[in-house]
Amino acid sequence: MKRRTSAHTPQETGTPTLAPDTVTAALTPAENALFAQVGRPRRCYAGETLFRRGDLGTTMYVIASGAIDLDFGDDLIAKRLGPLEFFGELGLLIGDHARSADAVASTDGELIELRHEEFQRLVDSDPGLVSHFLRRAIMRVVLNEQGLIRRLRRRNQDLQSALDSLRATAHQLNQTEALIRTDELTGLHNRRGLAQHLAERRRTGSLKGLGLVLVDCDRFKQVNDEHGHLVGDRVLQSVANILRSVVGDGDIACRLGGDEFCLLVSADSRDAVLSFADFIVTTTRGLQQVPRHAEPGQVPLISTVSIGACLLDGERDWNDWYAQADMALYRAKRLGGNRVEWQDDAFAAA
């Protein structure tokens, strides 16, 4: 928020209507003459600090010549006061009062200082004039407070709408992030999603007790060639649904690309990993055998799959795990597909 300096706070809508002299920060000539009689003259110099925000003080000042800047800090409007204007009156009226602004002389000038004893003399010499002054000083404080409340309220609203738009942006970012780690066709994680998942597991030291199930559709090119790309897409979606149905909390199903998928599952034994792999092969095989409508050319929306599976050594990285599972997958393909093959940690043996 930009800070501005104004000689007077503008009177805003909704504030009580007052005669102009009731709210002005300037003394009337009569008041000034009286204040000058009892007050103590003081010279001030450009840049001189009269008091700082938070200082305790009991002196009120009237400006005889020159100008004083009042800075309320916290992005509130700063004020520049000139001749006949007064400030610091709360210190005088209510005793040791923490100043609410820094008061700094912006030019050389003359001030009249009034402390409690001088003010008491004023009360004794002209109570009527002093009571008029007091009434005005109090109204000025009230108006300043009201202005402050309005500004704070507006700032609060600004902050609220900034917060709302931040929330909306964060929501959009989350959605975008989710999109860039998701495979569009199947809704499974894509390679980027898998990489993030692995990085997070490595960061949290939870790469132990995992199995990798690498899945590849059998003769998928033939499905595309014979039935068209759209049918091919639906086959890929069907395989993805089967993978999605077996993943538990913390597991991840991913489409690596084309007709190749993988599962990263919590498993601490070969049998545990193989139970996932066997389920997938058996389900795709079973679905393929479900008779479709009798129309000639009607194809099952699934192809058989080949699977290579292994347990992960948490000390290695994705390339090693992939190579290990891929050896088994290659063997499964060579043996005619539609089967699961296992690969022990060949690298550890080497």
Question: Minimal distance in Å, beta carbon 303 to ligand GTP?
Answer: 8
Is 216 a residue that touches ligand GTP (CB under 6 A)?
Answer: yes
Is 308 a residue that touches ligand GTP (CB under 6 A)?
Answer: no
Q: Between 70 and 188, whose beta carbon lies closer to ligand GTP?
A: 188
The one among 56, 123, 152, 185 contacting ligand GTP by CB under 6 A: 185
Is 233 a residue that touches ligand GTP (CB under 6 A)?
Answer: yes
Question: Minimal distance in Å, beta carbon 327 to ligand GTP?
Answer: 15
The one among 133, 220, 261, 276 contacting ligand GTP by CB under 6 A: 220
Is 232 a residue that touches ligand GTP (CB under 6 A)?
Answer: yes
Helix (H), strand (E) at residue 78: strand 78-81
Question: Minimal distance in Å, beta carbon 230 to ligand GTP?
Answer: 7
Please identify the residue of the shown chain whose CB is closest to the bound ligand GTP: 232
Question: Minimal distance in Å, beta carbon 283 to ligand GTP?
Answer: 18
Contact between 19 and 68 under an 8 Å Cβ cutoff? The reply is: no
> x/- site string to ligand GTP, residues 245 to 284, per CB under 6 A?
-------------xx-------------------------
The one among 213, 236, 327, 332 contacting ligand GTP by CB under 6 A: 236
Cα dihedral value 240, 325, 311, 309, nearest 10: 50
Q: Between 71 and 216, whose beta carbon lies closer to ligand GTP?
A: 216
| Only segment of 82-90, 91-99, 188-196, 228-236 that touches ligand GTP (CB under 6 A) | 228-236
Segment 302-305 long-range contacts (CB within 8 Å, at least 24 positions apart): 302/235, 302/238, 302/239, 303/217, 303/218, 303/219, 303/220, 303/223, 303/235, 303/239, 303/259, 304/217, 304/218, 304/337, 304/338, 305/215, 305/216, 305/217, 305/218, 305/239, 305/280, 305/281, 305/337, 305/338
Contact between 328 and 311 under an 8 Å Cβ cutoff? The reply is: no
CA distances to 103, 271, 293 from 156, rounded to whole Å, are: 27, 61, 66
Size of the site for ligand GTP (CB under 6 A): 16
Which strands form 60-65's sheet, in the order they lie side by side?
40-44, 109-114, 60-65, 86-87
In the block, tokens 């059998």 appear at 218
How far apart (Å, rounded) are the C-alpha atoms in residues 104 and 44? Answer: 9
The one among 71, 102, 183, 218 contacting ligand GTP by CB under 6 A: 218
Is 229 a residue that touches ligand GTP (CB under 6 A)?
Answer: yes
Is 191 a residue that touches ligand GTP (CB under 6 A)?
Answer: no
